[in-house]
A and B are shown apart, each in its own frame.
Chain A
């Protein structure tokens, strides 16, 4: 087999040389580990003997008749790890006249007074003081709280059931009981829900029967006395059954509604639960009400696991580990959703190394790694670090001479110095202009169908990056842009003013990382975003208007000839048909002058909201690690919790505290040890893909990859405008890099299309998935073939200079992979080229294999 066919076969499959194939090796290593390792880790979980026992909550007050409290008993071992022994511990109360406690550690109040709860385990004891108040005072009934809780806990109002957009089986409920008044009406009066009108569809059939309460559909359906598509949800005679029956018997009132019934938030303990495979851990859920009260909600919520292959959560909140990994438990109560991280972890590590921490990023990341019994990899070697940081900060691989200098450098601060040089480089400006042009959607069709306008918009972004303009300023200018200026051009896709709903959803996604789109037509089925919130926010954009080529906000109090054509400048709620007033996401209405720019107020609020900094740092973080702390980076939601909430908060705070300085944020990230870890895994972190314990390979974006090929081969790319005939066709100036194309949609490139250049018709989402087209293009595409045959290439110049094979190998390795070839690689290459017979052809094939291999096409 000569080099060409062999190299191509290997390259298409991943890499050509042993050191370049770590990524595919990793998969093989993973499969070898298999189940055997899991068993070893499980057996080791028992770990060192218990050292201390603690009871949670440590101090609690129970209020009202029938109050209960779930307790936890946590043992800490000599290794510092905590284990849940709630089910194994013995529980007793100091005064059985005041309260009783079950084996499951659930305390039930009987009478007012103070007592102590004691847990005993393995000869150790721990106590928690308890106060009981108002045990004879029944809490007033509240439909929102009492019935809403049952409907939520039993999953009746979940998105897949009656909480779906139109409900199910003729009964519509709001997801998570977010709108209890609506639910009350549907249950007590019946009727079909319609998306585009508040009118009731069909005959109203109440779900309660006041004459014969036990015959209420609300009871006969979930008990399967009447056939129920959703199956049996509870038993006749269960507590929930009795509660609903009693409510119907009492005339099915709506009951009280006030701050004491308003659930403000849920708190889950622990926020991050670790447990071994086949281990268990109970969750404790505390409800915080608007009046400041707290109440144990552990048994009043619906639990679900985000990944049941990793861990399951029982109906009463007990997490069971299934396999090593990380997921989240989702907890739903009436009107609220919360989550807790779950880590199913390996065995404790004796002599866990003391890993030094270089900044607050490392504090957060390494603390979690230690909790998860994962040891971070070593620091990346100089060559690996340099290539990674160059590509991440500038989208440009380091030139060979810089790699040599850096590797040879003895300055202990050389990494920081090179980071500063890169952040201050014009290539940094090029690259981050490209990145933000993606997010901000610089494209002709998105900017008024005018290349002039999209390029001015591009120049605005570039100027902002070049001057390191504070990101909140950039956001405010883009959000509230008026007039003819460049920042306003994105409001006129196709030279029409953007639909206000689209404009709002895009801005919230870009600057707050939230996707509200689902709530446009109905309350969000999975999140707490309501249709009213969506349209309240949209109303800030509802007066966005275009006068010729000028963007402005149509004054409320001025006709401006609208009557001439029976036009109205107002936003109508699609369902209620009522004009919508601007309201912030938190529901707060904003008083606006009738001829003001409402988006200015929105921009001020958005950029001060905690979501803004969180979303910004998460987006930037995602660029450096291949995944966000919340991933996808613009999909923050309760059902997609951050892997490192503390880190996210710390980064956001640091970003805010330093004036939303993007360059500083990036430097903080790349100066962390976390960022500078090696790509080489160790035995404890090989499986880890979310905790940043080692560097993970990331496919280069199409534009960066093409530019890197140009750098390596020395042959520039030609970008022509999409029209291929006629004398007016344009062409980007010679030497233009792909990342510097101002209007990429004007330029056709087969390579860029194949390698995932996204359309900017919507906020781009890049895919790194390989495809057959790429493989074929590698074999015969002009991007490869023409470069290899060019007479002006780097290879041609080296050959002309009389360079030896070894020199050529070294030069290309440095240019493409940012490292020197290993001696065995040089040796093998020499042999392959020699066998080829034709030296120049052999070297061309070597270059082809190099720019086709995975090590080149990835950053790691």
Chain B
């Protein structure tokens, strides 16, 4: 249904305050082999009396075996709220595809946030009880491939594994965190960032039993928001016995610090989380297809009647066009010329198909016939605190060009000293097409008490001067739950310290508030229902194609 205003829906007696949502923090172990059954424990807050597990099409059968308050311990003592432990029996279907499957606990207080169960093809072994903090107490790796499920149970703990390798043998080691949501890896923020190191028992003059590090890996690249799991491929020079040490980057540890350790023969690809779904035209790795203009037109509520964009590798191209190439030598700059017959509002988009920033940092400049810089993907501004000149490269730039004539697009790496085969780029120069850009819906799940209200914010970008409307529909709500249009307070944003052409790099962002309300007599639901939020542009009175959807589990819960 489309969002519709209606005062009657809210004309109800004041609802009692809703209980806090159940919060699942971690599950351990979180990995099982397909076809196997294993027991795992969810640790969280407000998880007592779980009634079921919500799987959303996961190839798992999960039953709740029991729940109990967490016994007093060092970690629980610091918390002001009690923790609950929920014991689950998980059966992975024999035909389950290896992957990551979210699940939620359903309790009388509603549905929880999602945790993830990993299903693997490989044999799974649990880290044995006890300490494995020294080579002497290392966990023996009897076979490969194998996946261990372990935990860094307290601060400063490290787990040793011992294995044999042959000269010339290559092994892949991968540690996946069960608590990946970290603010700043290595900081004191919650989260578990595992790191791996391989040691050999080669001793030293001081200590014949000393083990010496021969390989190490933390994730090779780290920026905010990037996964921080450790992945290490090593070819052994000598036949012998080796140790693998797994620890948290900054020595954190506790009951939530579970991990999955893979030890695989050969060079296996890294098991990364699936890429985020959804449209993001300000993300360097996105694909700039030949049908880009049609895709944009559709997101702007227009028909797909645009022509396709040709790809060029030469020094001349026809507007609109895509230039492809790679920076093979340090300091190399590639230039391609094109012609504009008349004034055009153009967009320049940059894709890095192989290596993205901060390793490859493509700077794109558009020069006029006199060699002057007309546009660039470098955004300059003044730092809010220091007033210092800051610059950043952007994946997309829009620019109004008023003078017809010849223009040149120049591409280079930000640095003058670096180049690699992976420094490949695709630069698309095209006319601007107004459209709805990135859409973000901030709610993960909704638990409503009868008569209660919750808001869901839908943020969207107006790209390239999109002036149409945007509509959000909420489908499949539980009986007695309605979606209404709303608004909430949005604080004024400070103006940038110094004027800059921010609008060329940053889309105008707006938000829609969707109010979900349960009628006072709405029936309590036993299971969550997946409500679908659907976002469309509306132009000239006509709704366009769907530009974003999100499924949100919704429950009507009893009053506490």
Interface residues in chain A, defined as those with a beta carbon under 8 Å from any beta carbon in chain B = 390, 394, 396, 398-399, 402, 418, 421-422, 425-427, 450-452, 455-456, 459, 480, 482-484, 496, 545-553, 555, 558-562, 564-567, 569, 595-597, 600, 718, 720-721, 723, 725-735, 746
Are A561 and B501 neighbours in the complex by a CB distance under 8 Å?
Answer: yes
Q: Which of A550, A562, A746 lies in contact with B380, CB distance below 8 A?
A: A562
- Interface membership of chain B positions 345-362, coded 1 if the CB is closer than 8 angstroms to chain A and 0 otherwise: 000000000000111010
B157 to chain A, nearest CB (A): 7
Q: Which of A418, A550, A721 lies in contact with B361, CB distance below 8 A?
A: A550
User: Taking CB as reference atom, which chain A residue is nearest B502?
Assistant: A564
Alpha-carbon distance A295/B376, docked complex (angstroms) = 62
User: Taking CB as reference atom, which chain A residue is nearest B383?
Assistant: A496
Stretch of B61-69, B89-97, B389-397, B444-452 contacting A (4+ beta carbons < 8 Å)? B389-397
B25 to chain A, nearest CB (A): 10
Given the complex, which residues of B lie within 8 Å of A427, measured CB to CB? 204-206
Are A727 and B190 neighbours in the complex by a CB distance under 8 Å?
Answer: yes
B398 to chain A, nearest CB (A): 14
Are B155 and A720 neighbours in the complex by a CB distance under 8 Å?
Answer: yes
Alpha-carbon distance A453/B365, docked complex (angstroms) = 30
If A425-B206, A427-B204, A567-B380 touch, does A452 touch B414 (CB 8 Å cutoff)? Answer: no
Are B79 and A597 neighbours in the complex by a CB distance under 8 Å?
Answer: no
If A548-B357, A567-B389, A721-B188 touch, does A561 touch B157 (CB 8 Å cutoff)? Answer: no
Are A496 and B386 neighbours in the complex by a CB distance under 8 Å?
Answer: yes
Stretch of B232-240, B249-257, B299-307, B534-542 contacting A (4+ beta carbons < 8 Å)? B249-257
Please, how many residues of chain B have a CB less than 8 angstroms from a CB on the other chain? 67
- Interface membership of chain B positions 174-217, coded 1 if the CB is closer than 8 angstroms to chain A and 0 otherwise: 00000000001111111100000000000011110010100010
Taking the complex as formed, is B388 at the interface, i.e. its CB lies under 8 A from any CB of chain A? Answer: yes
A39 to chain B, nearest CB (A): 51
Are A451 and B187 neighbours in the complex by a CB distance under 8 Å?
Answer: yes
Alpha-carbon distance A714/B194, docked complex (angstroms) = 29
User: Taking CB as reference atom, which chain B residue is nearest A482?
Assistant: B415
If A422-B205, A482-B415, A550-B357 touch, does A728 touch B393 (CB 8 Å cutoff)? Answer: no
Are B393 and A452 neighbours in the complex by a CB distance under 8 Å?
Answer: no
Taking the complex as formed, is B129 at the interface, i.e. its CB lies under 8 A from any CB of chain A? Answer: no
Alpha-carbon distance A726/B75, docked complex (angstroms) = 9
If A427-B206, A727-B79 touch, does A733 touch B373 (CB 8 Å cutoff)? Answer: no
B257 to chain A, nearest CB (A): 10
Are B207 and A399 neighbours in the complex by a CB distance under 8 Å?
Answer: yes
A-B contact pairs, 26 of them (CB 8 A): A425-B205, A450-B222, A451-B186, A482-B415, A483-B415, A546-B391, A547-B361, A548-B357, A549-B358, A550-B357, A553-B415, A555-B416, A560-B365, A561-B391, A597-B417, A720-B155, A721-B188, A730-B252, A731-B253, A733-B156, A733-B158, A733-B247, A734-B133, A734-B156, A734-B158, A735-B134
Alpha-carbon distance A32/B120, docked complex (angstroms) = 81
Alpha-carbon distance A422/B189, docked complex (angstroms) = 40
Given the complex, which residues of A lie within 8 Å of B414, measured CB to CB? 483, 547, 550, 552
Q: Which of A394, A398, A484, A561 has the most CB of B within 10 A?
A: A561
Are B156 and A728 neighbours in the complex by a CB distance under 8 Å?
Answer: no
Are A732 and B357 neighbours in the complex by a CB distance under 8 Å?
Answer: no
- Interface membership of chain B positions 517-543, coded 1 if the CB is closer than 8 angstroms to chain A and 0 otherwise: 000000000000000000000000000
Interface residues in chain B, defined as those with a beta carbon under 8 Å from any beta carbon in chain A = 75, 78-79, 133-134, 155-158, 184-191, 204-207, 210, 212, 216, 218, 221-223, 247-254, 331, 333, 357-359, 361, 363, 365, 373, 376, 378-382, 386, 388-393, 414-418, 498-501
A103 to chain B, nearest CB (A): 67
Are A421 and B358 neighbours in the complex by a CB distance under 8 Å?
Answer: no
Known contacts A560-B380, A733-B156, then 13 further A-B pairs from the complex at CB < 8 Å, ordered by chain A residue: A418-B205, A426-B212, A483-B415, A484-B221, A546-B391, A550-B415, A552-B416, A555-B416, A560-B365, A564-B500, A595-B331, A728-B191, A731-B156
Alpha-carbon distance A726/B250, docked complex (angstroms) = 14
Alpha-carbon distance A730/B389, docked complex (angstroms) = 36
Alpha-carbon distance A547/B249, docked complex (angstroms) = 26
Alpha-carbon distance A562/B222, docked complex (angstroms) = 28
Q: Which of A390, A394, A402, A484 has the most CB of B within 10 A?
A: A484
Alpha-carbon distance A19/B473, docked complex (angstroms) = 89
A353 to chain B, nearest CB (A): 34
A546 to chain B, nearest CB (A): 8
Q: Which of B78, B156, B186, B381 lies in contact with A455, CB distance below 8 A?
A: B186
Are A549 and B223 neighbours in the complex by a CB distance under 8 Å?
Answer: yes
If A450-B186, A552-B416, A595-B416 touch, does A728 touch B252 (CB 8 Å cutoff)? Answer: yes
User: Taking CB as reference atom, which chain B residue is nearest A463?
Assistant: B216
Are A484 and B358 neighbours in the complex by a CB distance under 8 Å?
Answer: yes
A729 to chain B, nearest CB (A): 6
Are A450 and B190 neighbours in the complex by a CB distance under 8 Å?
Answer: no
Are A482 and B75 neighbours in the complex by a CB distance under 8 Å?
Answer: no
Are A452 and B251 neighbours in the complex by a CB distance under 8 Å?
Answer: no
Are A548 and B415 neighbours in the complex by a CB distance under 8 Å?
Answer: no
Given the complex, which residues of A lie within 8 Å of B382, measured CB to CB? 565, 567
Are B359 and A452 neighbours in the complex by a CB distance under 8 Å?
Answer: no
User: Taking CB as reference atom, which chain A residue is nearest B203?
Assistant: A426
Q: What 5 A-B pairs have minimum CB-CB distances, sorted nearest first?
A: A731-B156, A451-B186, A730-B251, A561-B380, A731-B155
Are A548 and B252 neighbours in the complex by a CB distance under 8 Å?
Answer: no
A88 to chain B, nearest CB (A): 61
Given the complex, which residues of A lie within 8 Å of B389, measured CB to CB? 562, 565, 567, 569
Are A552 and B415 neighbours in the complex by a CB distance under 8 Å?
Answer: yes
Are A452 and B204 neighbours in the complex by a CB distance under 8 Å?
Answer: no
Given the complex, which residues of A lie within 8 Å of B251, measured CB to CB? 720-721, 730-733
Alpha-carbon distance A558/B375, docked complex (angstroms) = 11
Are A547 and B393 neighbours in the complex by a CB distance under 8 Å?
Answer: yes
Given the complex, which residues of B lie within 8 Å of A734, measured CB to CB? 133, 156-158
Given the complex, which residues of B lie within 8 Å of A565, measured CB to CB? 380-382, 389, 498-500
Given the complex, which residues of B lie within 8 Å of A550, measured CB to CB? 357-358, 361, 414-415
Given the complex, which residues of A lie within 8 Å of B205, measured CB to CB? 402, 418, 421-422, 425, 427
Are A727 and B499 neighbours in the complex by a CB distance under 8 Å?
Answer: no
B443 to chain A, nearest CB (A): 26
Alpha-carbon distance A71/B376, docked complex (angstroms) = 72
Alpha-carbon distance A600/B333, docked complex (angstroms) = 19
Alpha-carbon distance A402/B359, docked complex (angstroms) = 48
Alpha-carbon distance A729/B252, docked complex (angstroms) = 6
Are A548 and B393 neighbours in the complex by a CB distance under 8 Å?
Answer: yes
Are A426 and B188 neighbours in the complex by a CB distance under 8 Å?
Answer: no
Are B391 and A560 neighbours in the complex by a CB distance under 8 Å?
Answer: yes
Alpha-carbon distance A539/B392, docked complex (angstroms) = 23
B223 to chain A, nearest CB (A): 6
Alpha-carbon distance A600/B416, docked complex (angstroms) = 10
Alpha-carbon distance A733/B132, docked complex (angstroms) = 12
Are B248 and A730 neighbours in the complex by a CB distance under 8 Å?
Answer: yes
Alpha-carbon distance A455/B184, docked complex (angstroms) = 14
Are A560 and B376 neighbours in the complex by a CB distance under 8 Å?
Answer: yes
Given the complex, which residues of B lie within 8 Å of A425, measured CB to CB? 204-206
Alpha-carbon distance A546/B373, docked complex (angstroms) = 20
B140 to chain A, nearest CB (A): 20
If A484-B358, A559-B373, A560-B363 touch, does A402 touch B206 (CB 8 Å cutoff)? Answer: yes
Are A547 and B392 neighbours in the complex by a CB distance under 8 Å?
Answer: yes
B4 to chain A, nearest CB (A): 44
B441 to chain A, nearest CB (A): 27
User: Taking CB as reference atom, which chain A residue is nearest B154?
Assistant: A731
User: Taking CB as reference atom, which chain A residue is nearest B416?
Assistant: A597
Alpha-carbon distance A546/B380, docked complex (angstroms) = 11
Given the complex, which residues of B lie within 8 Å of A394, measured CB to CB? 206
Given the complex, which residues of B lie within 8 Å of A559, measured CB to CB? 373, 376
User: Taking CB as reference atom, which chain B residue is nearest A551?
Assistant: B415
User: Taking CB as reference atom, which chain A residue is nearest B497?
Assistant: A565
Given the complex, which residues of A lie within 8 Å of B393, measured CB to CB? 547-548
A419 to chain B, nearest CB (A): 11
Given the complex, which residues of A lie within 8 Å of B379, measured CB to CB? 561
User: Taking CB as reference atom, which chain A residue is nearest B193?
Assistant: A452
Alpha-carbon distance A429/B515, docked complex (angstroms) = 62
User: Taking CB as reference atom, which chain A residue is nearest B75?
Assistant: A727
Alpha-carbon distance A726/B183, docked complex (angstroms) = 15
